[in-house]
Amino acid sequence: MGSVADVILRSFEIAAERCGDLTPLVYAKLFREQPEIERLFHRDISGALKGDMLGTVIESILDFVGDRHFSYVLIQSEVMSHEGHQVTPDVFLTFFPTLADCVRDACGDAWTSDMEAAWREVLAALKACVEQSIEPAAASPDRLASAAAR
């Protein structure tokens, strides 16, 4: 097995070779699983916004499994900024596995046990990253004050 980064990159390459643009697959699955999110894309008639967002997610994942020049901070800041659009952190916790499922489906018989293991590892690390971005809210002054008053 190559490095996790190599295996993840290869899975994206195979998925792209076999199905081209993953955007329609990823968002169709996301909207089936989280139908309340679809309304947030009502102006994205062409799919450009979804495609741009997915491209950023893929770039972030590739950085996340690599040198982490930007991805860790970007993911955490996106979790917080999306709350302004009523996108809760649990959506991020389902988006990454949704993408992984679509990559696996697109790879078909080229999907390997190495890919499965690499994605499982990356999804666990991404989940920890998202959850860590939530923790500061749990320690907000208001929460601390109400806990102290108990």
Query: What domains can be seen in the chain, in order of their start residue?
Result: 4-149 (1.10.490.10)
> Is pLDDT at 138 greater than 90 in this prediction?
no
Q: What is the pLDDT of residues 69-91, one digit of tens each?
A: 999 889 888 888 777 767 777 77
Report the 3 state secondary structure along the chain: CCCHHHHHHHHHHHHHHHHCCCHHHHHHHHHHHCHHHHHHHCCCCCCHHHHHHHHHHHHHHHHHCCCCCCHHHHHHHHHHHHHHHCCCHHHHHHHHHHHHHHHHHHHHHHCCHHHHHHHHHHHHHHHHHHHHHHHHHHCCHHHHHHHHHC
d(CA 100, CA 134): 22
pTM comes to 0.84
> Is pLDDT at 144 greater than 70 in this prediction?
no
pLDDT at residue 82, rounded to an integer: 75
